[in-house]
Amino acid sequence: MQEKIRKDILRLADSRIVVVGSVDENGYPNGKGMFNAKHDGIRTFWLSTNTSSIRVEQFQQNPKAFLYFVDMLRISGVMFTGQMKVHLDDETRLMLWKKGDEQYYPLGPTDPDYAVLEFTAEQGNYYHGLNKEIFSVDEV
Amino acid sequence: MQEKIRKDILRLADSRIVVVGSVDENGYPNGKGMFNAKHDGIRTFWLSTNTSSIRVEQFQQNPKAFLYFVDMLRISGVMFTGQMKVHLDDETRLMLWKKGDEQYYPLGPTDPDYAVLEFTAEQGNYYHGLNKEIFSVDEV
């Protein structure tokens, strides 16, 4: 992989917002914007969402997921496919908790409505203008 | 449905870029940004893409799709789930063709690599801040 592409993928993976994809109970793909709370390179991403949200139930039934990061101005994007795990234990929730999260989860890190999603990437698709490249996560 | 929400949904559906979701041959959701070439309210949307693209093959195998429009500044978004149809006939391709498309399909509207996607919405999910609303397409 070219160094320029590698750098652009890492830059995109740092975006604050990411479109998260799931498959619903009728087999339809679903997508929603979420906050990219923390990530370890491009292998593992942590997101937070409402325990009561449709997405949490979907991932508990079917962990197949995508994360899609896009920079509309540079017409550049990267989509990772992989597995999503739902965490409801206090240890994980305290680990990800940060100041300001009270506005979404008023009861704090142990709020029953606060859920953490952990995404593990398996494969990537990088797009830039009309070019595309499929890559394994180990390459980056 | 509130008039304010209805207007915001119609505004979002006018965005130039939309994230298009599909399900791949291994059952993973996939997402990619595409141009929203033309639409008839929020019922039917037309997109163009490369015949050779992975997406075209996926929709030929499995027409289940989503379109996700998002306005990051206003934290507002709408996702439609529905069916995607692939058109490769000249009539449809000429109907959608417009000046400037040659940069993507150098051979013109009958370029074998020029494909038209037609999305028919069935259901919608509207998000604004922390609020969400699921609606039927007939309501808007």
Mean pLDDT for all residues in chain A: 91
A48 half-sphere exposure, CB direction, 13 A CA radius: 24
pLDDT at B126 over 80: yes
**Considering CB atoms only, which of A33, A70, A81 is closest to B33?**
A70
Among A16, A18, A22, A32, which would you mutate to test the B interface (most chain B Cβ atoms within 10 Å of its Cβ)? Answer: A32
Report the SS3 class of residue A80.
Answer: strand
**d(Cα B95, Cα B77) in Å, to the nearest integer?**
29
Percent of all residues in chain B with a pLDDT value above 90, rounded to a whole number? 62
Nearest chain A alpha carbon to B71: A33
What confidence score (pLDDT) does residue A78 get? 96
pLDDT band at A20 (very low <50, low <70, confident <90, very high): very high
- From CA B66, how far away is CA A58, in angstroms rounded? 15
pLDDT at position B29? 98
Helix/strand/coil for A90: helix
Token pair listed for A136: 């394994």
Average pLDDT over residues A75-91: 94
Cα–Cα distance measured from residue A22 to residue B81, given in angstroms and rounded to the nearest whole number:
12
Mean pLDDT value across residues B92-108 = 90
Nearest to B72 among A17, A62, A127 (CB): A17
pLDDT at position B51: 82
Calculate what percentage of chain A has a pLDDT beyond 90.
62
In chain A, how long is the greatest CA-to-CA distance?
Answer: 47
- Name the residue in chain A with its Cα closest to that of B82: A28
More confident residue, B100 or B20: B20
- Rounded to two decimals, the ipTM of the complex is 0.91
Taking CB atoms and an 8 Å limit, are A27 and B29 in contact across chains?
no
Q: What is the mean pLDDT of residues B50-67?
A: 91
Helix (H, G, I), strand (E, B) or coil at A129: coil
Q: What is the pLDDT of residue B1?
A: 83
Q: pLDDT at position A42, please? A: 92
Phi, psi (deg, nearest 5) at residue A10: -65, -35
Q: What is the mean pLDDT of residues B17-41?
A: 93
Average confidence score pLDDT of chain B: 91
SS3 at position B121 = strand
- pLDDT greater at residue B35 or residue A95: A95
pLDDT at A110 (0 to 100): 92
End-to-end CA distance of chain A: 8
Q: Residue B86 pLDDT > 90, yes or no?
A: yes
Q: Give B65→chain A minimum CA distance, Å.
A: 6
Joined tokens for residue A117 = 């999603």
Given a cut of 80, is residue A14 above it in pLDDT?
A: yes
Q: What is the pLDDT of residue A104?
A: 84
- Taking a C-beta distance cutoff of 8 angstroms, is the pair A89, A50 a contact? no
Q: Percentage of chain B with pLDDT > 70? A: 99
Question: What pLDDT does residue B96 have?
Answer: 92
Whole-number pLDDT of residue B89: 94
Task: Provide the pLDDT for residue A84.
Answer: 98
- Confidence at B90, pLDDT banded by 50, 70, 90: very high
User: In A11-30, which positions are buried (b, 16+ CB within 10 angstroms) versus exposed (e)?
Assistant: ebbebeebbbbbbbeeebbb
B131 half-sphere exposure, CB direction, 13 A CA radius = 5
Task: Tell me which residue of A8, A1, A7 sits closest to A75, measured CA to CA.
Answer: A8
| pLDDT for A9 beyond 90 | yes
CA separation for the pair A62, A21 (Å, rounded):
11
Cα–Cα distance between A68 and A111 in angstroms, integer? 28
Highest mean pLDDT of the ranges A102-106, B11-15, B75-79, B103-107: B11-15
Q: What is the H or E stretch that residue A5 is in? A: helix A3-12
Which comes out higher in pLDDT, residue B125 or A133?
Answer: B125
Cα B98 to the center of its chain, rounded Å: 18
Q: Are A89 and A110 in contact (CB under 8 A)?
A: no
Cα B119 to chain center, whole Å?
Answer: 6
Stated as kind and residue range, the H or E segment containing A47 is strand A44-50
How far is residue B30's CA from residue A23's CA, in Å, rounded to a whole number?
Answer: 10
Q: How many cross-chain Cβ pairs, A to B, lie less than 8 Å apart?
A: 91
